[in-house]
Structure 1
Amino acid sequence: METKKKDTKWMVSVALMAAIVIVLANTPLGMIQLPIIKATTVHIPVIIGAVLFGPLAGAILGGVFGICSLISNTMAPTLLSFAFSPFLSTTGIPGVLKALWISIGCRILIGVVAGWLWILLEKFHTNQTISLPVVGFVGSMVNTIAVMGSIYLLFAQQYAEAKEVAVTAVWGLVMGTVTASGIPEAIAAAILVLALGKVLLKFTKKL
């Protein structure tokens, strides 16, 4: 009976976090439109969910984030939306599978990595003031590196065409995005995961 109660609480909690992801993903605060790509803060509740409820919850929330990203890039496409939406693929079934990996698979990784990293840091009794921002930073960088790295590996030619540059210039552009967008996102995630995580960890322990 106690186990069933815990399972119900876990499902309700994950559903609430998923609702937050969906709301963020559909407001300017969640996906900020830049000239080439959409910068995101939606990964933050994914990371916090992984900390509070474990890697499986993180994976589910990451999947929700990925589906929202897919829909956003399909409904309001940018130059790089072909890499996030299977409906905009110009390279047939392989392109569809690549887009699904980037939009959904890479986002599932955020929750899985954040969840297991938190478990590892807890195992070594790391102070929460250190472990929370570390998990926030790493989780955010997983998002940026997995997405931009996959675009480089899977869509270099299409990326070059969209940007009207040579394929040899793609690596530099990808690294520019990681530096200019990914690192500030990761710093913001570290701060927010620390601030929100400390409060929410105390709250969830009372449940």
Structure 2
Amino acid sequence: MQNKLSSTKYLTMLGLLAAVEIVLAFTPLGFIPLGVTKATTIHIPVILGAILLGPLAGGILGGLFGILSVIINTFQPTITSFVFTPFYNLSPDFHGNGWSLVVAIVPRICIGIIAAYIFRFLHRMFTSEIVSFAGAGLVGSMTNTILVMGGIYLFFGRQYAAAKGMDFSALFQAIMTVVGVNGVLEAIVAAILTLAIGKVLFQIVKRS
């Protein structure tokens, strides 16, 4: 789809989606209450950019998401922010490092790349906008949850468990619960929003 856009329109849409990301990151709009949890929506512009502009744009927007995560966790830290930023240390025992940047940024880049190719695959297989948009939103969101939580377990497992006040032996089950509950709820929200917003933007792109 990105080939149908002039470079000016491509960059304009990329800039607009990046601006939306920043607004979502620093306002309550980035989180939708779902009763027992909150669904993150900051990755929605990443998925939309991947669908409409391609994997390169998706990767760029995903990288921005990761950088915003580093900034937020540095200046508005929580007890586990050290897994997302090397610039915040809760204590000598709970501190970030270079792997924090990997956990914060790499999965978010992968959101955009994977969502773009999932959309293209589904669009070829089913030629259905509903399946293509919803599927890309679902898989893109789950990519974020699985890779972030997997990175936390791999690089910061013992520190993260201790910060959460649990035994390391219980961490894997706790992470699987996050993926199965929070992750699935976020993925459903992402699928719905990607479908609703993406269909509108898709028509605009086709007319460009």
Give the share of equivalent positions with the same residue, in percent: 49
**2:132 corresponds to 1:128:** no
The 3 A distance-change label for structure 1 pair 39 and 197 is closer
Q: What does residue 103 of structure 2 align with?
A: 102
Superposed displacement of residue 70, structure 1:
0.8
Superposed displacement of residue 154, structure 1:
0.9
Q: What does residue 26 of structure 2 align with?
A: 26
Q: What does residue 169 of structure 2 align with?
A: 168
TM-score where L is the length of structure 2: 0.89
Q: What does residue 178 of structure 1 align with?
A: 179
Q: What does residue 61 of structure 2 align with?
A: 61
| Separation in 2, partners of 1:195, 1:39 | 17
The 3 A distance-change label for structure 1 pair 200 and 32 is closer
Superposed displacement of residue 104, structure 1:
1.0
Superposed displacement of residue 184, structure 1:
0.5
| Separation in 1, partners of 2:115, 2:87 | 30
Matching residue's letter, 2:51:
V
Q: Runs of 5+ in structure 1 lacking a partner? A: none
Aligned-residue RMSD, C-alpha:
2.4
SS at match of 2:79: coil
Matching residue's letter, 2:151:
S
Q: What does residue 88 of structure 2 align with?
A: 88
Q: What does residue 16 of structure 1 align with?
A: 16
| Separation in 1, partners of 2:104, 2:73 | 9
1:37-76 paired onto structure 2 within 5 Å: 40-76=40-76
Superposed displacement of residue 32, structure 1:
6.6
CA contact (8 A) 2:66 2:106 kept: yes
SS at match of 1:42: coil
Matching residue's letter, 1:82:
F
Q: Runs of 5+ in structure 2 lacking a partner? A: none
The 3 A distance-change label for structure 1 pair 132 and 32 is closer
| Separation in 2, partners of 1:70, 1:59 | 17
| Separation in 1, partners of 2:30, 2:200 | 21
Superposed displacement of residue 122, structure 1:
2.6
